[in-house]
């Protein structure tokens, strides 16, 4: 199992931990399937009224799709099989509140998860970046999710600058992506405090409020995401050229932290 789930019936809070620390909690196909299954299970569990989502260790929250994952694609520029498309709670029709506890790097496909969380509590040591353009890939789903959570100029800069820059936790807090900063050792307790408060309220009212919040932007979100498959098909370099760029990444200069 690559997803660890802990349920506390007394508090009503469940903790989901991406448990692939040696791979910086990158998501392979098994992890993607497990995440979807866990969110769907929570829909039927009355004892789970709020969720904290985090990653194992302090180096990374999640670094997106595992580069070793093989995902055969249909021979059409209008279709893309994306294994991350259904890893988030909203994609699985879960409307219980999710608090993301970000420890270390959050990049690329991590934004599918952050994009469907209600709010983010961040370690002060965390960093946020989107490597797609550096490696000849279109940032489509990730850019759409972040454009709904960040000022447009900040989302554009992160999506376009690739690995040259990383957004510090402090800057992420200043622009509103992150709602609370915590020291690394206090990250999970801070997220649990917030989730515990939410779990203590009548769950019907909380879930209704979550649904209302998402209804305010869901139409625009779905319209934007519908364009993603064609943009990815048309703009991504062939896999072998992407692999060449990944091979040469160790020679790249250290990213700027801003």
User: What does the domain layout of the chain look like in residue ranges?
Assistant: 3-66+82-184+220-257
pLDDT at 248: 73
Sort strands 256-257 and 165-168 into parallel, antiparallel or unpaired.
Answer: parallel
**CATH fold label, 3-66+82-184+220-257:** 2-enoyl-CoA Hydratase; Chain A, domain 1 (3.90.226)
pTM of the model: 0.92
Report d(CA 78, CA 18) in Å as an integer.
Answer: 31
With 0-12 / 13-18 / 19 or more C-beta atoms within 10 angstroms meaning exposed / middle / buried, residue 91 is: middle
pLDDT in tens, the chain (258 residues): 899 999 999 999 999 999 999 999 999 999 999 999 999 999 999 999 999 999 999 999 999 999 887 777 778 767 778 889 999 999 999 999 999 999 999 999 999 999 999 999 999 999 999 999 999 999 999 999 999 999 999 999 999 999 999 999 999 999 999 999 999 999 999 999 999 999 999 999 999 999 999 999 888 888 888 888 878 888 888 888 888 888 877 667 789 899
C-alpha pair distances (Å), 200 with each of 17, 46, 48, 117, 190: 22, 13, 11, 19, 16
First and final C-alpha spacing in the chain: 36
């Amino acid at each position: 199992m690559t997803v660890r789930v802990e349920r506390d019936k007394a508090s009503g809070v469940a903790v989901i931990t991406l448990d692939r620390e040696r791979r910086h909690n990158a998501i392979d196909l098994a992890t993607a399937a497990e995440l979807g299954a866990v969110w769907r299970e929570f829909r039927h569990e009355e004892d789970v009224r709020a969720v904290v989502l985090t990653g194992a260790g302090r180096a990374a929250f999640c670094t997106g799709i595992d580069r070793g994952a093989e995902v055969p694609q249909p021979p059409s520029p209008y279709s893309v099989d994306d294994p991350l498309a259904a890893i988030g709670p909203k994609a699985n029709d879960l409307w219980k509140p999710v608090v993301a506890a970000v420890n270390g790097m959050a990049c690329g496909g991590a934004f599918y998860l952050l994009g469907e969380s209600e709010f983010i509590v961040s370690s002060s040591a965390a960093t946020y970046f989107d490597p797609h353009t550096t490696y000849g890939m279109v940032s489509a789903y990730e850019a759409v999710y972040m454009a709904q959570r960040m000022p447009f100029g900040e989302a554009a800069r992160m999506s376009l600058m690739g690995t040259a820059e990383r957004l510090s936790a402090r800057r992420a807090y200043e622009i509103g992506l992150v709602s609370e900063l915590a020291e690394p050792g206090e990250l999970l307790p801070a997220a649990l405090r917030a989730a515990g408060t939410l779990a203590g309220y009548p769950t019907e009212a909380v879930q209704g409020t979550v649904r209302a919040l998402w209804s305010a932007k869901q139409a625009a979100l779905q319209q934007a995401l519908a364009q993603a498959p064609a943009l990815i098909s048309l703009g991504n370099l062939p896999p072998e050229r992407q692999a060449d760029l990944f091979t040469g990444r160790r020679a790249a200069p250290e990213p700027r932290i801003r």
